[in-house]
Structure 1
């Protein structure tokens, strides 16, 4: 009888390990690699077009690997003071317009799972629905991008055009209002997660 109890415990442990191993194989979490990621924000003004580089970002995403491949979680954060134009005056106006002292980060958080549509070997089209928070204002937003699987992780590529006034941001101006920026900006990203 004792042998039967030992075997039952061994069987239960084996089943538990198999189940946990199966779950870890079917879902994988990736962490953003800032050093291999690029995000640029493009905008316009009444004088000339401009751009700002995102020097810092962080985040993660989780993919359920079995068919269909599904994005089950994602959060990306960008510190506002990590936005750099190469011109200190423009950066200062940007931080002021975005209330950077009170709202230090821009975040996108997935709110429902997204099924990936295969577009080639290891390449998928994604439409992610989530909450985008800028300057303390949160709006439901769709983010469309391409996800490419690599040997060590995934790369997300895409772009999103936003109306700053939707987030209660008054487009920055300079030189006592003689230079005015347009209300729309386009964010282009090539983000690596490993």
Structure 2
């Protein structure tokens, strides 16, 4: 591999590690970035998609250096405010906020537990907290150079009922939201 390729790969891995660190929070100064989330699923009548902006906080520095980030990643946390969801119809948003008990549980949070560099990204593990339920999750993270930073992209499928979220049922039971949802996210982080 050429030096230029190694440098580019190091930058991608660094950004990925920073992205992963975005997911865990720490006491050192954290870099912050905006991450866009898309949550989609289906019901007995139609598919649905809602979006929500989130925040990633990454703290550099750990005993585990990665290519392009000599200081490694100490912590990363990715979070979003439940009431910031935007859906195509207000009624859909209202059902989502009710199912998510938005007045009681205001945020959804992912905290990085660990990562392993792989190709053009990283395999990540961490904890996802929805409502009052925290579960371990794993997903691949794609990293692509973008200007002075790196575009971070990931996707995760999950069953909302495992987190205690009751899928909405409306129209006297004629429309039922299915429990399987897909979460996609992307954003540019600058190491």
* TM-score bucket (shorter structure): 0.7 to 0.9
Q: How does 1:21-40 map to 2 (within 5 A)?
A: 30-32=31-33, 34=34, 37-40=35-38
Q: How does 1:124-163 map to 2 (within 5 A)?
A: 124-163=120-159
1:107–1:134: 8 Å Cα contact kept in structure 2? Answer: yes
Q: How does 1:65-76 map to 2 (within 5 A)?
A: 66-67=66-67, 71-76=73-78
Relative contact order: is structure 1 or structure 2 higher (C-alpha 8 Å, sep ≥ 6)? 2
2:82–2:106: 8 Å Cα contact kept in structure 1? Answer: yes
Whichever of the two has the greater Rg, that structure is: 1
Number of aligned residue pairs: give it. Answer: 158
1:43–1:182: 8 Å Cα contact kept in structure 2? Answer: yes
What's the CA shift for 1:125?
Answer: 1.9
- Judging by fraction of residues, say which structure has more helix: 1
Distance change >3 Å, CA 66–CA 179, structure 1 → 2: closer
Q: Which runs of 5+ in 2 are unaligned?
A: 1-16, 19-29
1:68–1:116: 8 Å Cα contact kept in structure 2? Answer: no
Counterpart-to-counterpart distance in 1, 2:48 and 2:177: 9
TM-score (norm 2): 0.74
Aligned structure 1 segments of 4 or more residues deviating by more than 3 angstroms = 27-30, 62-72
1:116–1:125: 8 Å Cα contact kept in structure 2? Answer: yes
What's the CA shift for 1:45?
Answer: 0.5
Give the CA RMSD over aligned residues: 2.2
Q: Which runs of 5+ in 1 are unaligned?
A: 1-26
What's the CA shift for 1:71?
Answer: 4.5
Query: In structure 1, what is the equivalent of residue 86 of structure 2?
Result: 84
What's the CA shift for 1:85?
Answer: 0.8
What's the CA shift for 1:144?
Answer: 1.5
State which of 165, 168, 191 in structure 1 corresponds to 2:187: 191
Counterpart-to-counterpart distance in 2, 1:149 and 1:60: 19
